[in-house]
Amino acid sequence: MNLFEDILTDKSSGSGTILKKVQKQLLYFGETSGEISKGWLFSSLQVLQEHFPQFGLLLHFNTAINKHFRQSEVISGEQLSRYVRSYNEIWKNSQDNSSKQLIETVSMEGKNILLHSNSSALHNLFQHLAKAGIRPVVWQTWSSPVGEGTIQAEMLSNSGFKVNLIHEDSIGRFMKNLDMAILGADMILDDLFLNKTGSLPAILIFRHFNKPAYLLAEKRKVFHSEHIQETVLNNILNEKPKPALDLYRGNASGIKVHNYYFEWTPVKWINKIFLGE
């Protein structure tokens, strides 16, 4: 059984939430285990990486933990827990720094902001906005095909923000109301960024109406293709089709379903990227 069996069924969480779940599982496993099979542990992490190849945070963590234990013959539970904690200590302020940088740069008080998908980076941003007493109006997309935008909409509503829920296909109808878009990113690779399907047309609409779109990420999500192993890069660039039942539950034999969760957008179409630097 894979160590991350339950995480592998998650279809609605962003990369930050997935990484937190992985680390929580590793900490529990480390605290309740003696010696750990290095082969089994790394095999479980490899399966996870192959299942979520587009999640830059997971790739960064897996690369780091593999490098750290590369020379180890045996890994103890204590060593595993210690490493996960030390990694988190290094990166604990990364999201906060990105959010603070955006807040210091862009005026958001009373503005109407489009959000897409469900992102821990955006959750973090709005936590900082709430603490600062800054209350923009949220226009949250439903986020096809599984509607994880509703999770973010509920979270922001429960935090006291006024939230309008729309389908991403209808953004054009509401552009007169919108001041800006803020998107998260699962990965930034060379001159492109990867995010949930629907991000590319949203950015194109904002470009057409000459309104700004910002990207909220962090340095861990930035990669250069020449530094990524060829098989890993191939998995990143060639997303496997997702379940057809997300889109179609009929039985017509002549219909071929094309269901993908991610798409690439040129970085040059973004007004500014915030990485917390």
Structure tokens that stand for 221 in this block: 């999500």
Superfamily of chain region 94-223+259-274:
Translation initiation factor eif-2b; domain 2 (3.40.50.10470)
Which bin fits 143, alpha (ψ -120 to 50), beta or left (φ > 0)? left
- Over residues 36-76, the pLDDT tens digits come to 888 888 899 999 999 999 999 999 999 999 999 988 888 99
Supply 239's token pair: 């997303």
- DSSP for 148-185? THHHHHHHHHHTT--EEEE-GGGGGGGTTT--EEEEE-
Q: Could you give the residue range(s) of every CATH 3.40.50.10470 domain in the chain?
A: 94-223+259-274
Average pLDDT over the chain, rounded to an integer: 94
For the whole model, what pTM was predicted? 0.92
What lies within 8 Å, CB to CB, of 62 at 6+ separation is 45, 46, 48, 49
State the pLDDT confidence band at 257, using cuts at 50, 70 and 90. very high
Whether the link from the prior residue into 241 is cis, omega within 30° of 0, is: no
CA distance to 24, 147, 196, 201, 227, per residue, from 140 (Å):
29, 11, 13, 15, 35
